[in-house]
Chain A
Amino acid sequence: MKRTPARISQLVFLALFLILFVQTEYRGRDEINAAVNTFFRVDPLVMFSYLLSAKSWTWLLLPAALMTLATLVLGRFFCGWICPLGTVLDLVTSRIRKTTPIRALRGNTKYWLLLPLLSASLFNLNLSGLLDPIAILLRGLTFLLHPLMGLTAREGWVALYRLMGERRDSLAPAYNLIRDNLLPFRDTLYPLALFSAVILLAVIALERFETRNWCRNLCPLGTLLGWLGRFSIFKRTPGGLCADCGACRDLCPTSFEEGHLDKGACVLCLDCQSGCPNGRVAFRPSLDMKGAGPLMPERRVLLGGMAGGLLLAIPTRFRSPEQVSRTLRPPGVRSEDDFLKRCVRCGECMKVCLKSALYPAAYQAGIEGFYTPLVIPRLGYCEYNCTLCGQVCPTGAIPRLPVEIKKREVIGKAVFDKNHCLPFARKIDCIVCEEHCPIPEKAIRSREITVIGLDGISKIVKEPYVLEEICNGCGICEYVCPLETKAGIEVFAVKNRAPISQNPANPPANPYPP
């Protein structure tokens, strides 16, 4: 990599991305001031798909609106100066030997990706995050690379204990420094981890065929920015290759395959300017729109792309009732439809979730819910005083709520399974669920019932029950249920997610009256 302003900017933003990524974790404070969501909030693809699907505006995406304006004026500079995935590609591409470009990717392929995404958004299916470059990078990091790093470090640390025992303590300060600042706190294994990494690696592997292959031929964000960038006021002179030189063809990472600079593909890295052996290249302001290519892709691509979106949006909606009943969304999400319109599937909520409650849906939420976050209470529960997922969601699909309000938001409702729950099934005491229920008035309570034990002897057992009115579905009951076979209590999704009342109509009796 040469040390040009664009390269320095790329490295700075990649470093920023990684720092924010590591920062997206509970580090002893209830608030995360700067999270990696910043990158999505400047992402015009996220903004346009949000506008089309939610059909409303959120100030969270103001930076993306500014980026759109900047692109209209300056061109597709995001790809050459900011995009962390583009930077990763630039960093590795010189180590990958090139064969010939894939012809099939040329031309309209990028529109066949972008247009269905946008038109599906119009039909309430917001899939843009699936192919958004920042989301692809983030999911690869969140679901595989970061946990891998954490597990490796942790396994090593455990191995040291087996080796040294108590004497390992002398090394603890060094390990704690890494653990507290770099590693994920929990060792979470995610579904789709391998898939996410394979997608990321596939994008990188495309470099085998030509530089910035993903960016110039596939990336929907890049395509969108390129289309906006064609209105930019900067025009390169000369427009094409010089008859006596042609160095631009090798210098340019994204264009010149047709012998001229495609304005929609130019990422403004300015390598051609700094590398021109004759000093001829310049980027100058000009209102001349000649050479920018056609404004719209061919009509059949436009119409086909729109139809593709419709075809995507409707048939992917099917979900079985079993899936629906366990589609538990993060706290504050009151409507499944509104959530799907806004969720970018970026994975940040799942990264930040304190108790590993959130996982990407593989099949559980139907095809349309692929990669959206699900609460899986048997694996982790929603911590009562925690509001982190709402803080890092870039689009507000998970609303950012004050803790007092978040505590009352309903994820689902807990239901006992009397065939498994010990006091019912085996007539013995347990009520671990009641103990852990965080609602101060206790949404799980118990009553003393005289039962005939399985040994035939009459005895008193505490039988638990759920006060549905004040259950917020946090899932800690299902999480801590000590049964190994199947939890004796489970949380199910409900349609009416009106927040639980602050003053329950049925105030609990004080077991120790004054």
Chain B
Amino acid sequence: MDRRTFLKASGAASLLAPALIREALAAQQQPLVAVAEGKDYPAITRRAINAMGGMKRFVKAGDVVVVKPNMGWDRSAELAANTHPQVVRAVVEECLAAGARKVKVFDYTCNDARRCYVNSGIENALKGMKNVDCKQIEPERFRKVAINGQFLKEWELYDEALTANVYINVPVAKHHGLSRLTLGLKNIMGIMGGNRGYIHRSLDVALADVNAHFKSSLTIIDATRILTAHGPQGGNIADVKVLNKVIASTDVVAADAFATTLFGLKPSDIPVTVAAYKRGLGEMDLARIRVVKA
């Protein structure tokens, strides 16, 4: 190599280097979505968690963990209105194995709380587990919190979620009359008190507000079976599609974006996802999401 070519090459390299480094960093920052498939629901749940680095990455010894499934409806597990009890149990077991001091499981239900806890199968699946509280919501524990969002300035949130060391969001993937789908971003409503119907008038912005204020450490979407119509509570087995999938990500928007494809939709079809993406809460561009089979 003569001096001229060396200078040319090094000059070009020095010009290109920042871009290359940026590119390389971007690849690192690309959100990861793990998808596990199989008929053994506890096993695929564990595989999805392990693909995200294992529960120890999120839960440290002595932590108080909230596992927040969707169990808002008085529907049995096969109707896909609530998170599958086996998925919830597997997540709880992983938390305990990672050293959690206490795992709390709850949801602010739409139907009668006792019936939802029983009929969803979740209360029974967790029965007898040590250091696990599957507990009813107690209204006095909602606390007014300054959210300073675009639609919601303040709202009541549940103190047990606020004070937990780790919050794991475990929604079920299903259709929703207003937001088209309800996934990770919408599952946050289970820690919201007050007149929740109020936020329906600007649901996507309101959910972005709350999710911007309160973030989950990990989102695990139950797509073992999904509700394709007449959501969010369904009730007809004909609307249920069995997919045998569990999705995990630390990026709730990315998890939602990928889950959207299971319904044959694009992430941009879901206003809640779009609003959260625009707010910088995560990635919705599928091309920029790294999907790994777990």
A associates with B: yes
How many angstroms between the C-alpha atoms of A385 and B116 in the bound complex?
A: 11
A185 located at the interface, meaning its Cβ lies under 8 Å from any Cβ of chain B in the complex: yes
Stretch at the interface among B215-223, B228-236, B273-281, B285-293: B228-236
B177 and A26: CB pair below 8 A?
Answer: no
How many angstroms between the C-alpha atoms of A434 and B234 in the bound complex?
A: 11
B264 and A512: CB pair below 8 A?
Answer: yes
Residue of A nearest to B118 (CB): A28
A512 and B175: CB pair below 8 A?
Answer: yes
Segment 110-145 of B: residues with Cβ below 8 Å from A: 110-112, 114-115, 118-119, 135, 138, 140-141
B195 located at the interface, meaning its Cβ lies under 8 Å from any Cβ of chain A in the complex: yes
Bitwise, B95-108 to A at CB < 8 A (1) or not (0) is 00000000000000
Residue of A nearest to B232 (CB): A435
The residue that A26 contacts in the complex, of B114, B203, B239, with Cβ under 8 A, is B114
Stretch at the interface among A66-74, A321-329, A439-447: A439-447
Bitwise, A419-435 to B at CB < 8 A (1) or not (0) is 00010000011111011
B112 and A508: CB pair below 8 A?
Answer: no
Closest Cβ of chain B: how far from A125's Cβ, in Å?
35
A429 and B110: CB pair below 8 A?
Answer: no
Which chain A residues lie closer than 8 Å to B176 at the CB level?
435
The residue that B230 contacts in the complex, of A430, A436, A440, with Cβ under 8 A, is A440
Closest Cβ of chain A: how far from B155's Cβ, in Å?
14
How many angstroms between the C-alpha atoms of A158 and B139 in the bound complex?
A: 9
B178 located at the interface, meaning its Cβ lies under 8 Å from any Cβ of chain A in the complex: yes
Instruction: Take A386-B112, A429-B178 as given contacts and tell me if A512 and B118 are in contact as well, using a CB distance cutoff of 8 Å.
Output: no
A510 and B115: CB pair below 8 A?
Answer: no
The residue that B115 contacts in the complex, of A158, A383, A436, A440, with Cβ under 8 A, is A383
A354, A440, A442, A510 — most chain B CB neighbours (10 Å): A440
B114 and A185: CB pair below 8 A?
Answer: yes
Instruction: Take A161-B140, A441-B230, A512-B228 as given contacts and tell me if A481 and B197 are in contact as well, using a CB distance cutoff of 8 Å.
Output: yes
A28, A435, A436, A508 — most chain B CB neighbours (10 Å): A435
A268 located at the interface, meaning its Cβ lies under 8 Å from any Cβ of chain B in the complex: no
Determine the main DSSP class of A at the interface with B.
Answer: loop
B78 located at the interface, meaning its Cβ lies under 8 Å from any Cβ of chain A in the complex: no
A44 located at the interface, meaning its Cβ lies under 8 Å from any Cβ of chain B in the complex: no
Closest Cβ of chain B: how far from A366's Cβ, in Å?
31
Which chain A residues lie closer than 8 Å to B119 at the CB level?
385
Segment 424-474 of A: residues with Cβ below 8 Å from B: 428-432, 434-436, 438-442, 446, 462
Residue of A nearest to B123 (CB): A28
B201 located at the interface, meaning its Cβ lies under 8 Å from any Cβ of chain A in the complex: yes
B235 and A439: CB pair below 8 A?
Answer: yes
A384 and B74: CB pair below 8 A?
Answer: yes
A430 and B112: CB pair below 8 A?
Answer: no
A355 located at the interface, meaning its Cβ lies under 8 Å from any Cβ of chain B in the complex: yes
Which chain A residues lie closer than 8 Å to B200 at the CB level?
429-432, 482
A512 and B177: CB pair below 8 A?
Answer: no
A354 and B115: CB pair below 8 A?
Answer: yes
How many angstroms between the C-alpha atoms of A97 and B176 in the bound complex?
A: 67
How many angstroms between the C-alpha atoms of A325 and B177 in the bound complex?
A: 30
B140 and A158: CB pair below 8 A?
Answer: yes
How many angstroms between the C-alpha atoms of A438 and B178 in the bound complex?
A: 16
B263 located at the interface, meaning its Cβ lies under 8 Å from any Cβ of chain A in the complex: yes
Closest Cβ of chain A: how far from B271's Cβ, in Å?
10
The residue that B233 contacts in the complex, of A354, A430, A431, A435, with Cβ under 8 A, is A435
A258 located at the interface, meaning its Cβ lies under 8 Å from any Cβ of chain B in the complex: no
How many angstroms between the C-alpha atoms of A446 and B264 in the bound complex?
A: 22
Instruction: Take A430-B197, A435-B176, A482-B200 as given contacts and tell me if A26 and B141 are in contact as well, using a CB distance cutoff of 8 Å.
Output: no
Segment 149-169 of A: residues with Cβ below 8 Å from B: 158, 161-162, 166
B178 and A462: CB pair below 8 A?
Answer: yes
A422 and B201: CB pair below 8 A?
Answer: yes
Which chain B residues lie closer than 8 Å to A440 at the CB level?
230, 234-236, 239
A484 located at the interface, meaning its Cβ lies under 8 Å from any Cβ of chain B in the complex: yes
How many angstroms between the C-alpha atoms of A158 and B142 in the bound complex?
A: 12
Closest Cβ of chain A: how far from B194's Cβ, in Å?
10
Closest Cβ of chain A: how far from B235's Cβ, in Å?
3
A510 and B229: CB pair below 8 A?
Answer: yes
Closest Cβ of chain B: how far from A255's Cβ, in Å?
49
Instruction: Take A26-B114, A185-B114, A482-B195 as given contacts and tell me if A383 and B74 are in contact as well, using a CB distance cutoff of 8 Å.
Output: yes
The residue that B201 contacts in the complex, of A26, A162, A428, A439, with Cβ under 8 A, is A428
A185, A484, A512 — most chain B CB neighbours (10 Å): A512
Closest Cβ of chain A: how far from B69's Cβ, in Å?
18
Residue of B nearest to A159 (CB): B140
B6 located at the interface, meaning its Cβ lies under 8 Å from any Cβ of chain A in the complex: no
How many angstroms between the C-alpha atoms of A438 and B118 in the bound complex?
A: 17
Residue of A nearest to B181 (CB): A512
A392 located at the interface, meaning its Cβ lies under 8 Å from any Cβ of chain B in the complex: no
Instruction: Take A28-B114, A161-B141 as given contacts and tell me if A434 and B177 are in contact as well, using a CB distance cutoff of 8 Å.
Output: yes
Which chain A residues lie closer than 8 Å to B239 at the CB level?
440, 510
A294 located at the interface, meaning its Cβ lies under 8 Å from any Cβ of chain B in the complex: no
A355, A383, A385 — most chain B CB neighbours (10 Å): A385
A279 located at the interface, meaning its Cβ lies under 8 Å from any Cβ of chain B in the complex: no
A315 located at the interface, meaning its Cβ lies under 8 Å from any Cβ of chain B in the complex: no
A484 and B195: CB pair below 8 A?
Answer: yes
A480 located at the interface, meaning its Cβ lies under 8 Å from any Cβ of chain B in the complex: yes
The residue that A508 contacts in the complex, of B74, B195, B197, B230, with Cβ under 8 A, is B230
Which chain B residues lie closer than 8 Å to A430 at the CB level?
178, 197, 200-201
Which chain A residues lie closer than 8 Å to B197 at the CB level?
430, 432, 480-482
B268 located at the interface, meaning its Cβ lies under 8 Å from any Cβ of chain A in the complex: no
Closest Cβ of chain A: how far from B65's Cβ, in Å?
15
Instruction: Take A428-B201, A429-B201, A435-B176 as given contacts and tell me if A441 and B236 are in contact as well, using a CB distance cutoff of 8 Å.
Output: yes
How many angstroms between the C-alpha atoms of A172 and B234 in the bound complex?
A: 34
Which chain A residues lie closer than 8 Å to B230 at the CB level?
440-442, 508
Instruction: Take A383-B74, A432-B197, A438-B235 as given contacts and tell me if A511 and B175 are in contact as well, using a CB distance cutoff of 8 Å.
Output: yes
A429 and B229: CB pair below 8 A?
Answer: no
Instruction: Take A28-B114, A439-B235 as given contacts and tell me if A385 and B201 are in contact as well, using a CB distance cutoff of 8 Å.
Output: no
A508 and B233: CB pair below 8 A?
Answer: no
Closest Cβ of chain A: how far from B268's Cβ, in Å?
16
How many angstroms between the C-alpha atoms of A205 and B232 in the bound complex?
A: 54
Segment 459-514 of A: residues with Cβ below 8 Å from B: 462, 480-482, 484, 508, 510-512
Instruction: Take A383-B115, A429-B201 as given contacts and tell me if A438 and B233 are in contact as well, using a CB distance cutoff of 8 Å.
Output: yes
Closest Cβ of chain A: how far from B223's Cβ, in Å?
14
B163 located at the interface, meaning its Cβ lies under 8 Å from any Cβ of chain A in the complex: yes
How many angstroms between the C-alpha atoms of A193 and B264 in the bound complex?
A: 55
Pairs A–B under 8 Å by Cβ, sample size 19: A161-B140, A161-B141, A185-B114, A354-B112, A354-B115, A355-B112, A383-B112, A385-B74, A429-B200, A431-B200, A434-B178, A438-B233, A440-B236, A440-B239, A442-B230, A462-B177, A510-B239, A511-B229, A512-B263
Starting from the known contacts A385-B115, A385-B119, A386-B115, 7 additional A-B residue pairs (CB-CB under 8 Å) come to: A28-B118, A161-B138, A161-B141, A429-B203, A431-B177, A435-B233, A508-B229
Enumerate the 5 nearest inter-chain pairs by beta-carbon distance, A residue then B residue, closest first. A482-B197, A440-B235, A440-B236, A432-B197, A158-B140
